[in-house]
Amino acid sequence: MQTHVSGADQDPKNTMKTCPLCHTRYEDHVPTCLADGATLVPMKGGAPAGAPSVIPSPRHRSRAGLGLLLLIPPLMLAVVVVGVALLWLPGRGGSPGAMAPARGPQPEPRLDGDFIEDENLEVAVDSSPPGAEVWENGHLLCQTPCLVQHPLGVPLPREFQLRAPGHEDATLTMWELKPQFIELSSTQEAPPRPGAPPRPGAPPAPSTTKPPLFIER
């Protein structure tokens, strides 16, 4: 840095200006600071006796400008890195964390025979012949084919009694919550097949009646 002593220091009547940023003093005809471009302001009472006016040399200004240019690429790189890091944070738009919603608590696996407490299901019940009454604990539920409600908290197995006219009563045990089917046994003999020849009977017994006797007169 070069130090210049202007002629204004020898003449106290001349007005001096100073930079509000770097406090460098200039002569009155200089409008702005040569170092940072700030507008110069007049000094009150003139320059102090023996105080030199320091003006940065062009070489110093070129070094300062070069230093600023060298700082620009690292600053831009830092901005890019920070922006990419913010985009990849969970919950930011466009990030993988934002695409995958947060998973709630997973239900515990249910074992066979456990109580059904979180579902209300309907189980299909059918029979042969159809139209059989479905009873449970003395209550008529429906007639086949139908859907049987499985209330909450009811354990398995469940037993149903099926009744149909002309058929024997049957018990249906439901071990799993899936469609149920049962065939009822008929209490009547099956009718003969159409077109079947009758069974051959025993041959008729020979007649033992003697013919009447005729007497001639």
DSSP notation for 174-202: E-SSS-EEEEPPBSSPPPPPTTPPPPP-P
Is 169 a member of any domain? yes
Q: pTM for the whole thing?
A: 0.34
For residues 146 and 158, what is the distance between their CA atoms, to the nearest angstrom?
A: 16
Q: Which residue has the higher pLDDT, 204 or 2?
A: 204
Is 216 a member of any domain? no
Q: How confident is the model at residue 135 (pLDDT cuts 50, 70, 90)?
A: very high
Per DSSP, which regions of 109-154 are E strands?
Answer: 121-128, 133-136, 139-143, 146-150
Q: In the prediction, which pLDDT does 27 show?
A: 85
Lookup: tokens for 199: 């069974």
Is 57 a member of any domain? no
Q: How confident is the model at residue 129 (pLDDT cuts 50, 70, 90)?
A: very high
Q: In the prediction, which pLDDT does 139 show?
A: 92
Q: In the prediction, which pLDDT does 3 show?
A: 41
Is 80 a member of any domain? no
Is 138 a member of any domain? yes
**Quick one: which of 127, 173, 164 has its CA closest to 146?**
127
Which residues lie below 8 Å from residue 16, measured CB to CB, with a gap of 6+? 8, 25, 26, 27, 28, 42, 43, 46, 47, 53
Tally of domains in the chain: 1
For residues 35 and 12, what is the distance between their CA atoms, to the nearest angstrom?
A: 25
Is 14 a member of any domain? no
Lookup: tokens for 80: 């890019």
Q: In the prediction, which pLDDT does 206 show?
A: 65
Q: pLDDT (tens digit, 9 = 90+) per residue, 76-113?
A: 989 988 888 888 776 554 544 455 556 666 666 555 54
Average pLDDT over residues 115-134: 81
* Least confident range of 33-42, 159-168, 184-193: 184-193
Enclosing domain of residue 132:
121-183
Is 126 a member of any domain? yes
pLDDT averaged over every residue in the chain: 73
**Quick one: which of 34, 14, 30 has its CA closest to 22?**
34
Single-letter residue type at 18: T
**Quick one: which of 106, 135, 131, 120 has its CA closest to 177?**
120
Q: Which residue has the higher pLDDT, 43 or 207?
A: 43
Is 68 a member of any domain? no
Four-point Cα dihedral 68, 72, 74, 75, nearest 10: 110
Portion of the chain with pLDDT greater than 90, in percent: 23
